[in-house]
Amino acid sequence: MISITVLAILAGGFAYSMRVETKLARNVSSEAELEWLGRSGVEYARWILAEQMRITGEPYDGLDQVWAGGQGGIATTNSALMDVQNPVTLGNGSFTWKIVDLDRKFNINTASEALLSQALTLMGAGPGENTPIVNSILDWIDPDDNARAQGAENNYYQSLDPAYYCKNGPIDDLSELLLVKGITPEMYWGAASTNHYPSAFQKRTGAFAPPPGVPEFSSGLVDLFTPLSSGRLNINTASADVLQIIPGVTPMMAEAIVGGRGGQNDGSGLTGPYRGMGDLRRIPEVTLEASRAMAQFCDVRSRVFEARIEAQVGTYKRRFVAVLGRNSVRDVQVLTFRWE
């Protein structure tokens, strides 16, 4: 009986091991197919964005268009975009796609001190937090090692445990802000901060320490900024919170701008998405001074997009993310490509 029991355990262990090995082998065989599905999804997104530029009746980029998941305006009816599929079946697998423009947010690498300060005030940061955090962000980005007033450079970051270096260069991924002095997960994620795990560099309290008083932020830095964009905000896709960062734009004005771009585009410019910056004058809440100020920061086109592709072969899935840059001649380039 002992021998039979031992042999049964060995056989069970061998069978389980072989099951794991078989599953790993299937994963490896699907790996190349998943990658090519992901790359195909990126090429599909490039085609959609290039085709959108061919539609002469829509000289703007807006949330009503096919690339953004909308049904498309009147001018889209006779274009190839009417046959766009999602999901797309290809070979033994399929992929789904989602395109989001990055020009709906301000570029953190080019934002001025005034814009950063206005963003923190809008989020609900205390008066004493603005200067240290703004200067720490600017110190993180600038190439020198000279700390600004209440800012932080290598001397500060090297004194931490664990120690690390100040970037002293452009931000490549917005999550780098979690390494900047004074920026908390609550400030970075806003209301969604409880849905994310703490970072490796985040300070933690002991198991028996009382929970600290954490301030609530109406929105987070991740909702307002992006590390990649053309530098001009698209008024057809930007949120009301982002629009309020612009000097002179009040909450009432921002909400009116967002509400005014809804509805069907009839080709006249009087309804639907804004076809030009001059269309802002159809919104009663937008003053002449405010429209002039917005013209310095805004546009009706987007030039940088993020495409998220989810490829699937059988039961195996993989997500790919690409940043795409589109110029005025309908040329769409892949700026970055990665998988998650």
Confidence at residue 289, expressed as pLDDT on a 0 to 100 scale: 84
In this predicted structure, the answer to whether residue 20 has a pLDDT above a threshold of 80 is no
- Two tokens at 257? 């701008």
Which of 76-85, 138-147, 229-238, 248-257 has the least mean pLDDT? Answer: 76-85
Confidence at residue 82, expressed as pLDDT on a 0 to 100 scale: 84
pLDDT digits over 270-284, tens only? 678 999 999 998 899
* Averaged pLDDT score across all residues of the chain: 86
Coil, helix or strand at residue 87:
coil
Q: What's 332's DSSP letter?
A: E
CATH, domain range 28-102+302-339: 3.30.1300.30
In this predicted structure, the answer to whether residue 243 has a pLDDT above a threshold of 50 is yes
Answer CATH for 109-226 from 1.10.40.60, 1.10.10.60, 2.40.30.10, 3.90.950.10:
1.10.40.60
Confidence at residue 88, expressed as pLDDT on a 0 to 100 scale: 95
Angle separating helix axes 113-123 and 130-141, nearest 10 degrees: 130
| Burial environment of residue 67 by CB neighbours within 10 A (0 to 12, 13 to 18, 19 or more) | buried
Amino acid at 220: G
Distance CA 310, CA 293 (A): 40
Reported confidence tier of residue 266, pLDDT bands at 50, 70, 90: low
In this predicted structure, the answer to whether residue 209 has a pLDDT above a threshold of 50 is no
Confidence at residue 94, expressed as pLDDT on a 0 to 100 scale: 95
Spatial CA neighbour of 176 closest among 194, 159, 160, 188 = 188
Distance CA 276, CA 280 (A): 8
pLDDT digits over 38-77, tens only? 999 999 999 999 999 888 778 999 999 999 998 876 667 7
pLDDT digits over 152-175, tens only? 999 999 999 999 999 999 999 999
The domain ranges of the chain are 28-102+302-339, 109-226, 233-299
Confidence at residue 190, expressed as pLDDT on a 0 to 100 scale: 87
In this predicted structure, the answer to whether residue 204 has a pLDDT above a threshold of 50 is no
Q: Which residue has tokens 């395109």?
A: 99
The arithmetic mean of pLDDT across residues 181-206, rounded, is: 68
Distance CA 134, CA 112 (A): 9
Confidence at residue 138, expressed as pLDDT on a 0 to 100 scale: 97
> Would 28-102+302-339 and 109-226 be classified into the same CATH topology?
no
- Please tell me the number of Cα atoms within 13 Å of 101 on its side-chain side: 32
Confidence at residue 57, expressed as pLDDT on a 0 to 100 scale: 77
Name every residue whose Cβ is closer than 8 Å to that of residue 128 and which is 6 or more positions away in sequence.
none
Q: Please give the backbone phi and psi of residue 231, each rounded to the nearest 5 degrees, phi first.
A: 100, -10
Helix residue ranges, H only, 83-207: 113-123, 130-141, 154-157, 185-189
Q: Of the spans 6-15, 56-65, 310-319, which averages the highest pLDDT?
A: 310-319
Confidence at residue 281, expressed as pLDDT on a 0 to 100 scale: 87
Beta strands in the chain (DSSP E): 88-90, 93-101, 106-107, 225-226, 233-234, 298-299, 304-313, 316-326, 332-339
Name every residue whose Cβ is closer than 8 Å to that of residue 332 and which is 6 or more positions away in sequence.
46, 49, 50, 324, 325, 326
Reported confidence tier of residue 207, pLDDT bands at 50, 70, 90: very low
| Burial environment of residue 99 by CB neighbours within 10 A (0 to 12, 13 to 18, 19 or more) | buried
Confidence at residue 15, expressed as pLDDT on a 0 to 100 scale: 67
Cα distances (angstroms) measured from residue 65 to each of 37, 81, 92, 248: 24, 9, 30, 29
Confidence at residue 271, expressed as pLDDT on a 0 to 100 scale: 74
Distance CA 187, CA 121 (A): 11
In this predicted structure, the answer to whether residue 215 has a pLDDT above a threshold of 70 is no
